Chain A
Amino acid sequence: MIAPAIQLEQLSKRYGRVTALQNLSLEVATGEVFGFLGLNGAGKTTTIRILLDLVRPTAGRAAIFGIDCQARGLEVRATLGYLPGEPGFYGDSTGETTIDLLAALSGGAVDRRRRAELLDRLEFSTADLRRPLREYSTGMKRKLGIVQAFQADSPLLVLDEPTEGLDPLMQDAFYGLLSDARSRGRTIFMSSHVLPEVERVCDRIGLVRGGELVLVSTVHEIRRLAGRRVRASFAEPVAAPVSWPSGCEVIDVSPRHWDLRVHGALGVIVTMLASLPIADLEVQMPHLEEILKTYYADDSRHGAANHAGSSS
């Protein structure tokens, strides 16, 4: 049996009285693109830092390709490329010396042609590489971070907010790199706040809230469960039914306009509408952003309640 790319078992981390992670269990399959979502302070970065053995868990176990991240950290870290949320580059080093240094520390030899291709795709010139990093913009530093994470072509890529600070063209270039990595069977574990990005590139997502994993699902399944938005406009006023079919949630109803959310098949509502003077009909797939914002709103309330509880 092939070990999962990432396996977290009952992972917990406490900093004094603060619980950063609570019994978090998760599996990410090899070759999967997994989006790890959550509000600031939810526990995303702590989880990533445990995978890298930068932080030690209070309880539980983390493994990458079946190898324990803490007991055999060196072997684990030989299999991954990491893009930190805030790469700690030294301003007095040039881009070239920085990626050379990090390549030398990576163990396996970095393919010069691959690096050159990465630099080309991210529009890094030789002149850019020879400049000290203090002269780099935020986006340039992010691009350099992407190069150092991808240059060893590791089986697992752990990316923390990868497109933060990138302009739209560079975001597209980055999505191209992700797509190539996926086609070569690489596993990608990324945290992000940009929900359209997650929707675009991830196979599955996990949502962490207050240190606990509250949702793990495919993007497709989440959208299916969330239901589609159906907006109907009528040529003349119609009366709303006394009872709505099951799976049909009313958002707004007026004599000339119905705004509904339908969970499951649309057949029942289409049959109902067929007998009415329809002027226009719009069926919209839900965006991940809308769905997750509901969870985020719950998270805020959860946080506020916890805060109130702890201060009382």
Chain B
Amino acid sequence: MELTQDKPIFLQIAETIEDGILTEIFKEEEQIPSITEFSTQYKINPATANKGINLLVDDGIIYKKRGVGMFVSKGATDLLRKKRQNDFYHTFIERLIKEAKKLNLSSTDIIAMIERGYDYE
């Protein structure tokens, strides 16, 4: 992952871990890399990495074992999928419609494209 400057870094760290969990790179009940590893890998201040990880701890996606490390919670994948489904409209659909309007594409046009795309993926 490349960090971008148009979004807070701690959110990008949280999203990277979320993506890792959703794609099962990080499996439930398994350990994820430490704050040190995230900070040095992405060359970010450890306080920033910590803040991103704490978002996930607060949401119950990961948990910390004192002196051992951080682990993916049981049920985290379902939890994340629900959360991302809720965000889907805001993250993707709103932008899709905005762009479509710029290009004079109707909702029927978009639906046709989505149906076509779904068959290929």
Binding between chains A and B:
no
